[in-house]
Structure 1
Amino acid sequence: MTGTKASNGDAGSETTQGREEMTLKIVSVIADAKGCKPLDLKPLYWVVDTEAIEQLVEQSSTVSFEVSFDYEGGQVTVTSDGNITYEMADE
């Protein structure tokens, strides 16, 4: 996939405090990339099991993972080191 790519640049900074923080970070990265407010996006839980991602992040010290899914016209990738990337498709 080519196009615009955004990242939170937080590799390695995620802790187990506040699992829901990851969901908010995902939405913030996408909103920044699209130039809109987070509330302008459709709810993330409509396209992915946010609780599952949050649980993976909580256990990221014991397991490595990379999860990718389509959302808001692009592809989101979340890794166990806390990195979030969003790559928008060419329009």
Structure 2
Amino acid sequence: MQTAPRATSVSTSAARATLFVALSAVVLAVTVLGGCQRALFPSDLPRSQFETYDRMRQRYVPLEEPDVFGTPQPALRARLGDQN
């Protein structure tokens, strides 16, 4: 007497697909929630010891300055210019 072949390969592949989707969702959720923490380097703290030195001697130059349209741009001329 012959027995009918089992459908285990179909159910196994479906279980693997479900497991893959579930693990992908967990990894995505952890990645998204990991980005919702505080900033690693707060913007109100000095960026280097040189910035602290300049602030103490009232020679601080801002990092950004608004352009003619009001958009903040790096203050390269002020930061790289003559530092008298």
TM-score (norm 1): 0.21
Higher relative contact order (CA 8 A, sep 6+): 1
More helix as a share of residues: 2
More strand as a share of residues: 1
TM-score (norm 2): 0.22
